[in-house]
């Protein structure tokens, strides 16, 4: 047991009373509380400095000019010339009449707002071209996702060559649905409308299922080309592709074609069926 002597107790008591008198005599209103922060484990922490020890110099006009001066010339993005080419369909089809090579190609060159578009689609069966067309269109962006297009379409087959004036819209609808709606005015007062759409369903990052649909309607009969007035034909397809790279994708699938009205009658006269299902195998690529 620790024993405290009377002398030690007297000294401790005197010291505590002196400290208490000093605290009572202090004027707390004069204390600079800005020099203190909260207690941290019983110790007072100094306040954070209000200014950096190495202050940043103010921005000058010379600094601003140095950011935008480009010795090689500053190019605005929407004035640059770009290009794109897509072979959406380049495929072999197992048709009733034999092997068919079908294609659907498109591309453009231009800037962000105005572009020159080229489109081509057609079929060759047993080495004979049955359908072939090419379009040259001027496209103008009316929103981030939609363009209006106008130009010419040239048909090479079926029948004799024919030229059409072309007007339409193209773009991406809700949920990434690619769509085209195009109207045509041909020689001799012929008129036509074509609606196309496709949608990519990502099964994995590389395996993609793509349903497609195309519809063609005409204003009047054209027996020479096997075209009837009204709804002429439709094509629905389902293709499964594997993107080895995003720019190169082999695919396989199936398509269903059907003709209607007078177009179906013209097909019967040629010994063709009103509807046909085809197995397809092809490559999709772009650059």
Residue 23 three-state SS: helix
Q: Are 247 and 241 within 8 A, CB to CB?
A: no
Nearest Cα residue to 242 out of 252, 227, 256: 252
Residue 7 three-state SS: helix
Extended strands (E) in the chain: 39-40, 43-44, 82-95, 98-110, 114-125, 128-143, 146-157, 162-173, 177-186, 191-199, 201-202, 207-218, 230-242, 248-259, 275-286
Q: Are 198 and 211 within 8 A, CB to CB?
A: yes
User: pLDDT truncated to tens, each residue of the chain (287 aa)?
Assistant: 444 444 444 445 555 454 455 545 555 455 554 444 444 455 566 666 666 667 788 888 888 777 765 555 555 555 789 999 999 999 999 998 889 999 999 999 999 899 999 999 999 999 999 999 999 999 999 999 999 999 999 999 998 999 999 999 999 998 889 999 999 999 888 999 999 999 999 999 999 999 999 999 999 999 989 999 999 999 999 999 999 999 999 999 999 999 999 999 999 998 889 999 999 999 999 99
Q: Are 124 and 149 within 8 A, CB to CB?
A: no
**C-beta neighbour count of 274 within 10 angstroms:** 14
* Angle in degrees, CA 177, 179, 185, rounded to 5: 175
Whole-number pLDDT of residue 13: 52
Q: Please give the DSSP secondary-structure letter assigned to residue 144.
A: T
Whole-number pLDDT of residue 2: 46
**C-beta neighbour count of 267 within 10 angstroms:** 20
Report residue 173 as tokens: 């609808």
Nearest Cα residue to 282 out of 60, 102, 62: 102
Report residue 47 as tokens: 């306040």
Whole-number pLDDT of residue 37: 46
Report residue 267 as tokens: 């097909």
Whole-number pLDDT of residue 255: 97
> Would you call the peptide bond into 47 cis, given omega within 30 degrees of 0 as the criterion?
no
Q: Are 44 and 31 within 8 A, CB to CB?
A: no
The topology (CATH level 3) of 79-286 is Porin (2.40.160)
- The model carries a pTM of 0.73
Whole-number pLDDT of residue 54: 73
């Amino acid at each position: 047991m620790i024993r405290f002597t009377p002398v030690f107790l007297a000294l401790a008591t005197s010291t505590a009373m002196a400290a208490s008198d000093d605290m009572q005599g202090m004027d707390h209103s004069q204390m600079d509380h800005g020099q203190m922060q909260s207690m941290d484990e019983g110790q007072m922490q100094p306040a954070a400095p209000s200014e950096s020890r190495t202050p940043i110099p103010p921005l000058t006009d010379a600094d601003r000019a140095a950011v935008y001066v480009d010795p090689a010339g500053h190019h605005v993005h929407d004035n640059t010339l770009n290009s794109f080419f897509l072979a959406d369909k380049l495929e072999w089809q197992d048709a009733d009449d034999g092997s068919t090579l079908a294609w659907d190609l498109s591309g453009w060159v231009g800037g962000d707002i105005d572009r020159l578009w080229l489109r081509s689609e057609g079929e060759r069966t047993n080495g004979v071209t049955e359908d072939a067309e090419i379009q040259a269109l001027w496209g103008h962006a009316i929103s981030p996702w939609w363009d209006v297009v106008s130009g010419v379409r040239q048909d090479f087959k079926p029948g004799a060559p024919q030229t059409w004036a072309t007007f339409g819209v193209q773009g991406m609808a809700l949920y990434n649905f690619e769509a085209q709606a195009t109207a045509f005015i041909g020689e001799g007062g012929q008129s036509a409308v074509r609606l196309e759409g496709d949608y990519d369903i990502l099964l994995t990052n590389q395996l993609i299922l793509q349903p497609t649909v195309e519809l063609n309607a005409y204003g009047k009969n054209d027996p020479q080309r096997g075209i009837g007035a009204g709804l002429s034909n439709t094509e629905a397809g389902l293709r499964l592709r594997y993107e080895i790279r995003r720019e190169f994708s082999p695919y396989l699938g199936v398509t269903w074609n059907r003709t209607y009205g007078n177009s179906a009658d013209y097909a019967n006269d040629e010994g063709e069926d009103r509807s046909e299902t085809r197995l397809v195998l092809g490559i999709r690529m772009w650059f």
